[in-house]
Amino acid sequence: MKTGNQSVKTDFILLGLFQYGPMDTGLFVVIAILFLVALMGNIMLILLIQLDTRLHTPMYFLLSQLSFIDMMYISTTVPKMATNFLSNSKTITFVGCETQAFVFLVLGGTEALLLGFMSYDRYVAICHPLRYPVLMSKKICWFMVTCAWTSCSINSLIHTLYAFQLPFCRSRLINYFFCEVPSMLPLVCQDTYQYEHTILLSELIILLLPFMAILASYACVLTVVFQMSSGKGQTKAISTCSSHLTVASLFYVTTLSTYTRPHSLRSPEEDKIVAVFYAIITPLLNPFIYSLRNKEVIRALRRVCVQKI
């Protein structure tokens, strides 16, 4: 019988984004506004794509999936963080922490793969336009999305089950604002060096490979775009691709920074700042980057508004 092992399934305590008082209404209001803006932005983009038949294309189908993921992504972490600003208790149950870590991993991995598929969509549309209806058929789009959800769910389930069966024999204080596998490892009382290599390998596959594919596909796209004789075509292609590349870069760089470094080389404060970008800022910016910089979406919004009026 282990006497020093406190791996009993007790509650954890989330220290939060930064040190704050027992009750901070101001921070709650700010976080709540950001959450509602992100939620409404993604919901409106999904509804717009559904309502306007001209947006029933592979690109916007994948974009609606991205908005759905972002909507769920921010809903997984922000509500608990916001309520902690108004609560004297910052606790989260063992099962609640495990569930949050699992859902967050699923959504993050699926978004990483989905962004890669979106770059493939733009590559085919610009570099192989005549084969686009075949290479990006409805069946293939659903196959991509299903593969992304399934593979990331399996990967996340394995990591979550393994990480949460480790012995947590140190403090129950999580120096983070939500439960994430890397943030849990400092609480483990056994050597996690080999497991961190497993995390590194899986995240290189899920994060780095799609990011490299995105950079390669856009290198091909830009080569074709600058050979176009039509200035209007160049502008449209660059506008669409630059929006996607902006979102992808922000997401991949920040997540790679968290998941590819061992916890011994990271500081909690830096990790929390980086996590804000991929857990809050990216879901907040995505609908606006894809809508405000996309003339097709703006025209679709006008058409829907006119029809409703």
In a domain, 291, yes or no: yes
Crossing angle of helices 138-163 and 58-84, in 10° steps, is 30
Question: Considering the domain boundaries, does residue 7 fall inside one?
Answer: no
Q: Spell out the residues 6+ positions from residue 7 whose beta carbon is closer than 8 angstroms to its own.
A: 166, 167, 168, 169
- Per-residue confidence (pLDDT) for residue 223, from 0 to 100: 85
Q: 309 CB contacts (<8 Å, ≥6 apart)?
A: none
| Residue 243 forms part of a structural domain | yes
Cα gap 9→136, rounded to integer Å: 47
- What pTM was computed for the model? 0.87
Angle between helices 231-259 and 282-292 (to 10 degrees): 180
pLDDT values of the chain reduced to their tens digit, one per residue, 309 residues: 344 444 456 789 888 876 655 557 777 888 889 999 999 999 999 999 998 888 899 999 999 999 999 999 999 999 988 888 777 778 899 999 999 999 999 999 999 999 999 989 989 988 899 999 999 999 999 999 999 999 999 999 999 999 999 888 767 888 888 999 888 888 888 888 888 888 888 888 999 899 999 999 988 888 887 777 666 666 766 776 777 787 788 889 888 888 887 766 777 788 888 888 888 888 998 888 877 667 778 888 788 887 776
Domains of the chain: total: 1
- Residue 251 resides in a domain: yes
Q: Range of 185's domain?
A: 12-307
Q: Is 184 exposed, middle or buried (0-12, 13-18, 19+ CB in 10 A)?
A: buried
176: CATH: 1.20.1070.10
> Do the domain assignments include residue 1?
no
β-strands 173-174, 12-14 pairing: parallel
Q: Is 220 inside a domain boundary?
A: yes
Question: 76 near 107, Cβ under 8 Å?
Answer: yes
- In a domain? residue 2: no
3 in a structural domain: no
- Alpha carbon separation from 280 to 34, 71, 99, 243 (Å, rounded): 8, 10, 19, 18
Q: What is the pLDDT of residue 256?
A: 87
Position 64 scores a pLDDT of 93
